[in-house]
Amino acid sequence: MHHEDLSTLPVAILGAGPVGLAAAAHLLERGLAPLILEAGPGVGANLASYRHVRLFSPWRYNVDKAARRLLEAHGWTAPDGEALPTAGELLDGYLAPLAAVPAIAGALRLGVRVGAISRAGIDKVRTRGRETAPFVIRAGGAGGTHDYLAQAVIDATGTWSTPNPLGANGLPALGEELLRERIAYGMPDVLGAARGRYAGKRVLVVGAGHSAAGTLLALAELAEAHPGMRLAWATRGSLMRVFGGGDADGLKARGQLGMRLKALRDAGRLEMHEHFLIHSLALRGGAIEVRGADGTIADIDEIVCAAGARPDLSLTRELRVRHDPWLESTDALAPLIDPNEHSCGTVRPHGHRELAHPERGYYAVGAKSYGRAPNFLLATGYEQVRSVVAALGGDLAQADDVQLDLPQTGVCNTRQAYQAPAPAAGCCAKPAATACCA
* Residue ranges in contact with ligand FAD by CB under 6 A: 14-20, 37-40, 44-47, 50, 53, 55-57, 61, 113-114, 156-158, 160-161, 187, 211, 366-367, 376-378, 381
CB-count burial class (<10 Å; 0-12, 13-18, 19+) for 286: exposed
Q: How far is the CB of 55 from ligand FAD (least distance, A)?
A: 3
**Residue with smaller CB distance to ligand FAD, 251 or 288:** 251
CB of 319 to ligand FAD, least distance (A): 14
In the bound state with ligand FAD, the residue whose beta carbon lies nearer, of 159 and 413, is 159
Number of Cβ atoms within 10 Å of the Cβ of 24: 32
53 or 184, CB closer to ligand FAD?
53
Alpha helix stretches (DSSP H) within 365-405? 378-392, 396-400
- Least spacing, CB of residue 50 vs ligand FAD, in Å: 5
Q: Which is nearer to ligand FAD, 162 or 419 (CB)?
A: 162
Residue 375 CB, nearest approach to ligand FAD (Å): 8
> Which of residues 20 and 175 has its CB atom nearest to ligand FAD in the complex?
20
At residue 414, what is the residue type? Answer: T
Rg, the chain, Cα only? 22
* Nearer of residues 158 and 244 to ligand FAD, judged by Cβ: 158
Nearer to ligand FAD, 215 or 281 (CB): 215
Would you say 61 or 276 has its CB closer to ligand FAD? 61
Q: At what angle do helices 378-392 and 18-29 cross, to 10 degrees?
A: 30
CB of 152 to ligand FAD, least distance (A): 16
What angle, 0 to 180 degrees and rounded to 10, lies between the N-to-C axes of helices 65-72 and 378-392? Answer: 80
The CB density around residue 262, as the number of other CB atoms within 10 Å, is: 16
89 vs 341 by CB, closer to ligand FAD = 89
Q: Which of 326, 348, 7, 366 is nearest to 152 (CA)?
A: 7
Maximum alpha-carbon separation in the chain: 69
Look up residue 171 and give its DSSP letter. S
End-to-end CA, the chain: 45
Q: Residue 377 Cβ, how far from ligand FAD at the closest point, in Å? A: 4
Residue 141, φ and ψ in degrees, nearest 5: -160, -160
Least gap, CB of 44 to ligand FAD (angstroms): 6
The phi, psi pair for 103, rounded to 5°, reads: -65, -30
Instruction: Tell me phi and psi for residue 308, to 5 degrees.
Output: 90, -170
228-231 CB contacts, 8 Å cutoff, 24+ apart: 228/200, 229/198, 229/199, 229/200, 229/201, 229/202, 229/203, 230/202, 230/203, 230/271, 231/202, 231/203, 231/205, 231/269, 231/270, 231/271
Sign of the alpha-carbon torsion through 188, 194, 197, 202: positive
- 98 in Cβ contact with 67 (< 8 Å): yes
Q: Shortest gap between Cβ of 380 and ligand FAD (angstroms)?
A: 8
| Nearer residue to ligand FAD within complex by CB, 71 or 114 | 114
- HSE, side-chain direction, 13 A CA sphere, residue 76: 22
Pick between residue 88 and residue 335 the one whose CB is nearest to ligand FAD. Answer: 88
Task: State in angstroms the smallest separation of the CB of 360 from ligand FAD.
Answer: 22
DSSP assigned state of 131 = G
Q: How far apart are CA 438 and CA 430, in angstroms?
A: 10
What is the smallest separation between the CB atom of 58 and ligand FAD, expressed in angstroms? 9
Smallest distance, ligand FAD to C-beta of residue 279, A: 26
The burial class, CB within 10 Å (0-12 / 13-18 / 19+), for 103 is: middle
